[in-house]
Amino acid sequence: MIIASPTTMSYVCCDKFTEFLKELPKCEHHLHLEGTLEPSLLFSLAKRNNITLPSHFPPSVEACNERYSNFADLQDFLDHYYIGMSVLITEEDFYELAMEYFAKAAKDGCLHSEVFFDPQGHVERGIHVDTVVNGFNRACKDANEKFGTTNKLIMCLLRHLPSAAGLETILSVSHHFENGTIHGLGLDSSEKPFPPELFVECYAAVKSRHPEVGLTAHAGEEGDHTFVTNSLDLLKVTRIDHGVNSIQSEDLMARLAENRTMLSMCPLSNVKLQVVSDVAELPIRSFFEKDVPFSINSDDPAYFGGYILDNYLAVHTRFGFTVADWKKIAINGINGSWCSESRKSQLLAKVDEVCDKYSSLSVIPAVPI
C-alpha cells in the first residue's frame, strides 16, 4: 500500500517535449536483461534450441502480449519470466538478447545502462555461468563501440533461493568481480516472503572481498518501508531498486535525501504488477519535492510494454515536470550512476546542452474532456 495523494492533473506530451525527453541524456539503473526477451525472440530461440515450452505458457506472440497485459502481481510475472529465460542456452543467445536491448536503449537516448542479470536462473538449468557472463559482457563492449553508450553488468541473487546458494554463486563469479566484468550486486525475485535480512552473509562476503563492487537491492516494491531500511542497514546497499514504499516513512525519506541514496523507479512496471493502478498514484512528486533522488527505468520492458523513453513519457503526462525539473532528475540519475567521474562529467555537460536547447518549452496541461 502506498500512501500518497495521486496527482489529478494530466499533461500533454507534445512532439517538441517528446523530442526533448528523447534527447535528454538518460541512464538506466533498473533493467533485467532477461526481462528484455521479446516474445518474437523467445519463440525463435525456443525453435533454434529445441526447447518445448510448458503447455500453460502462452503459445504465440499474440497470446504472450495478451497474457502479459494481465499480471496479477509480481509472482505471476515471475512465473512467466523464469519460463521465458529457459530458451537462452548459448553464449550467442545471451549476446543477441543484450545487443537487441542496447540498440533499443541507444535509440531512446539512453547513454549509460547498468543492467541486471540472474545467473542462478541459468546455472540451475545447467548453463555455465561464464556462458552467461561472457555473452552479456561481449554485448556491453560491442554496444559501446557501435552506439557510444557505456554499459555495466549487475549480478542479482534470487531471493527465493537459500543464502548458501547465493554465496556459492558469488564464489563462482569472483574472477568476474575482480576484473570488473561484474560491476555490482543486486537482489531480486519474490520480495515479501524473502526479506533482506536473509542475505546479510552474501552482501558482507562481496563487500569484504570486492569492496569496489556496487551494492543495491530490490526493496519496497511489494514489501513495506522496513524492507528499504533493512536493506540499507543490514546489506549496506548504496542504492535501492523500486523503493516506492519509502513514502510510508518520513524518517526514511529524510535519510534517503540526506545520503543521496537513489531509488531506481519503474513506473510502467509498477502499473503492470498492480503496485498502483496508474502512474499518477506513484509518489514521484513527493520524492521530487523532498529531494529524494530517483531515476526512471524500464525493469522488464518486454513484459511490461515500455522501454525507458516510454517510462519518461508516462511520467511527464502525469506529473508535468518542466525542463528545469527534468534537468534535476537527469543530474540525479547521473550522480547516482556507477560510472567513472569522467563519464559523469561528459553526461552532465550533455544534459546542460540539451536543457539549454529546449529551455523555452512550456508544460501544457491536458484539457479535461
The residues binding ligand HPA (CB under 6 A) are 32, 35, 74, 81, 188-189, 218, 221, 269, 299-300
Out of 28, 38, 91, 221, the active site residue is 221
Q: Please work out, in degrees rounded to the nearest 5, the angle formed at the alpha carbon of residue 318 by the alpha carbons of 314 and 320.
A: 105
CB 192 to ligand HPA: min, Å:
11
Give the CA radius of gyration of the chain: 20
CB 29 to ligand HPA: min, Å:
13
* 218 annotated to bind ligand: yes
Closest CA to 122 of 77, 175, 173: 173
* CB-closest chain residue to ligand HPA: 188
Q: Beta strands 239-242 and 214-219: pairing type?
A: parallel
* 176 annotated to bind ligand: no
Rank residues 81 and 326 by Cβ distance to ligand HPA and give the closer one. 81
Q: Which residues pair with 185 in a beta bridge?
A: 155, 215
Do the beta carbons of residue 293 and residue 300 sit within 8 Å? no
Please report whether residue 34 would count as binding Zn ion according to CB under 5 A: no
Rank residues 68 and 81 by Cβ distance to ligand HPA and give the closer one. 81
CB 303 to Zn ion: min, Å:
11
* 325 annotated to bind ligand: no
Distance CA 189, CA 156 (A): 9
Half-sphere exposure of 92 (CA within 13 A, CB side): 3
Could you tell me where the beta strands, DSSP code E, fall in 71-168?
Answer: 110-117, 150-158
Q: Which residues pair with 31 in a beta bridge?
A: 299
Please report whether residue 191 would count as binding Zn ion according to CB under 5 A: no
DSSP-assigned states of every residue in 182-250 = EEEEEEES--TTS-GGGGHHHHHHHHHH-TTSEEEEEESSSS-HHHHHHIIIII--SEEEE-GGGGG-H
Q: Which does 189 bind (CB under 5 to 8 A by kind): Zn ion, ligand HPA, none?
A: ligand HPA
Choices 160-168, 281-289, 297-305, 339-347 (CB under 5 A): range interacting with Zn ion: 297-305
CB 158 to ligand HPA: min, Å:
8
Told to judge if 289 belongs to the known catalytic residues of this protein, a careful annotator would answer no
Do the beta carbons of residue 195 and residue 223 sit within 8 Å? yes
Rank residues 101 and 321 by Cβ distance to ligand HPA and give the closer one. 101
Determine which residue in the list 156, 298, 299, 303 makes contact with Zn ion, applying CB under 5 A. Answer: 299
Rank residues 32 and 122 by Cβ distance to ligand HPA and give the closer one. 32
Place of cell 525475485: 189
- Count of residues that interact with Zn ion, criterion CB under 5 A: 1
Which residues are documented as binding site? 30, 32, 218, 299-300
Q: Give the residues lining the site for Zn ion (CB under 5 A).
A: 299
Annotated binding site for substrate: 300
Binding residues for Zn(2+): 30, 32, 218, 299
Q: Which residues are catalytic?
A: 221
